[in-house]
């Protein structure tokens, strides 16, 4: 092996490590990558890590893979490449191929790309109580801009709307808990791998419980009295839109990490919608793809990630 080839291999490994640190539904990490020569990386759906009960359309899988795609893009940009990502390049012949990323073009790394790349290992889902501080308007503006850059919309809810959505999430969680197949699938990804118990967060002691209950919460604590919620939406509700939602989600989360804002997710209503195979009617604000809780909290541990060797489908 020549030195040049070895260098390229190390560079590709850095990209895949960054991609593998993306958030995903129940930490399933449902992605694999195929390296084609020196300049093309393909993102593939890993259907062995799909959640067929709670995600029958594959929406959450695509959102997760979109987040990994954004990390790969920003890592490549920070490394002096100009990634050209084609989404769903051949859906008829290669339905598992979600994106092909051409890394042939070079460009000077921007300061923003370097900063976002360095924030990838900092970002993590935080299910612990947040303090009562409101997120400043300029930070919310940066996060909305981040979503818009990836063809999505971040909608910040007012206090009343947030309270209504929390009630809806609790109702949806109660209904999901009565579905044996759903609970069995959830248990598979919350007992030993996926979402380990040490990242579940504590049990709420007060009236407000803004954290998804995976069934193994350790200890108890009082959560913030008025959780700050946001909804990430897209204009459409098809696989292309889901991939865009995932890229927008990760850009938003990295920008939030820049401002030391934590995030967790309350997607039970979306799971229930998907399980019923319903689609939302067209709304002026778009189709909801993620429900987020935002705020300030101490740093927490992160869930485990797959090694790069498991992410490689094939090297050609």
Which pLDDT score is estimated for 194? 87
User: What's the token pair of residue 172?
Assistant: 């949806």
* pLDDT tens column, 244-285: 999 999 999 999 999 999 999 999 999 999 999 876 655 678
Q: Structural domain boundaries of the chain? A: 3-123+304-315, 137-295
Interval 51-73 mean pLDDT:
98
* pLDDT tens column, 158-198: 999 999 999 999 999 999 999 999 999 999 998 767 899 89
Interval 126-146 mean pLDDT:
98
State the average pLDDT for the chain.
Answer: 93
Strand partners, 36: 40
User: End-to-end distance of the chain based on CA atoms, in angstroms?
Assistant: 15
**DSSP three-state, residue 152:** coil
User: What's the token pair of residue 175?
Assistant: 């209904």
In contact, 152 and 289? CB cutoff 8 Å: yes
Which fold, 3-123+304-315?
NADH Oxidase (3.40.109)
**Hey, how many other C-beta atoms are within 10 angstroms of the C-beta on 136?**
11
**Hey, how many other C-beta atoms are within 10 angstroms of the C-beta on 134?**
11
Q: What is the pTM of this model?
A: 0.95
Q: Which has the closest alpha carbon to 69: 118, 103, 104? A: 103
pLDDT at 7 over 50: no
Is 137-295 the same fold as 3-123+304-315?
Answer: yes
d(CA 295, CA 19): 25
* pLDDT tens column, 194-218: 899 899 999 999 889 999 988 878 8
pLDDT at 3 over 50: no
Interval 221-228 mean pLDDT:
97
Interval 302-308 mean pLDDT:
94
Main-chain phi, psi angles of 289, to 5 degrees: -120, -25
Which pLDDT score is estimated for 49? 97
Which pLDDT score is estimated for 282? 55
- Rounded alpha-carbon distances, angstroms, from residue 49 to 31, 100, 176, 302, 303: 8, 20, 20, 19, 16
Matching CATH number, 137-295, of 3.40.50.300, 3.30.56.10, 3.40.190.10, 3.40.109.10:
3.40.109.10
User: What's the token pair of residue 51?
Assistant: 């959640």
Main-chain phi, psi angles of 85, to 5 degrees: -100, 125
What confidence tier does 31 reach under pLDDT thresholds 50, 70, 90?
Answer: very high
The sign of the CA dihedral 182, 187, 188, 190 is positive
What percent of the chain shows pLDDT beyond 70?
A: 95
pLDDT at 8 over 90: no
Q: Which residues contact 313 (CB under 8 A, 6 or more apart)?
A: 32, 33, 34, 44
- Show the DSSP H helices in 94-238 as ranges: 111-119, 137-149, 159-177, 180-188
């Amino acid at each position: 092996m020549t030195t040049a080839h070895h260098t390229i291999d190390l560079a590709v490994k850095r990209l895949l490590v960054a991609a593998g640190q993306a958030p995903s539904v129940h930490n399933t990490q449902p992605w694999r990558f195929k390296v084609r020569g020196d300049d093309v990386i393909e993102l593939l759906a890993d259907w062995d890590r799909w959640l067929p009960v709670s995600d029958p359309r594959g929406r959450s899988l695509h959102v997760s893979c979109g987040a990994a795609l954004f990390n790969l893009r920003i890592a490549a940009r920070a490394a002096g490449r100009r990634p050209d990502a084609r989404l769903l390049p051949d859906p008829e012949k290669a339905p598992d191929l979600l994106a092909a990323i051409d890394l042939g073009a070079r460009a000077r790394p921007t300061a923003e790309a370097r900063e976002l790349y360095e924030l990838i290992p900092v970002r993590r889902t935080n299910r612990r109580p947040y303090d009562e501080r409101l997120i400043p308007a300029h930070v919310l503006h940066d996060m909305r801009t981040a979503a818009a850059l990836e063809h999505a919309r971040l909608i910040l809810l007012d206090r009343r709307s947030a309270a209504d959505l929390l009630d809806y999430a609790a109702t949806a969680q109660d209904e999901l808990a009565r579905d044996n197949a759903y609970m069995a699938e959830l248990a598979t990804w919350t007992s030993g791998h996926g979402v380990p118990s040490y990242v579940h967060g504590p049990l709420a002691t007060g009236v407000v419980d803004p954290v998804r209950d995976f069934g193994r919460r350790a200890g108890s604590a009082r959560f913030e009295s008025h959780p700050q919620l946001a909804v990430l939406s897209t204009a459409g509700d098809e696989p292309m839109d889901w991939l865009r939602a995932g890229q927008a989600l990760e850009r938003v989360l990295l920008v939030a990490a820049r401002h030391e804002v934590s995030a967790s997710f309350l997607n039970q209503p979306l799971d229930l919608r998907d399980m019923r195979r319903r689609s939302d009617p067209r709304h002026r604000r778009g189709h909801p793809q993620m429900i987020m809780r935002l705020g300030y909290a101490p740093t927490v541990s992160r869930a485990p990630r797959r090694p790069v060797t498991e992410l490689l489908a094939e090297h050609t």
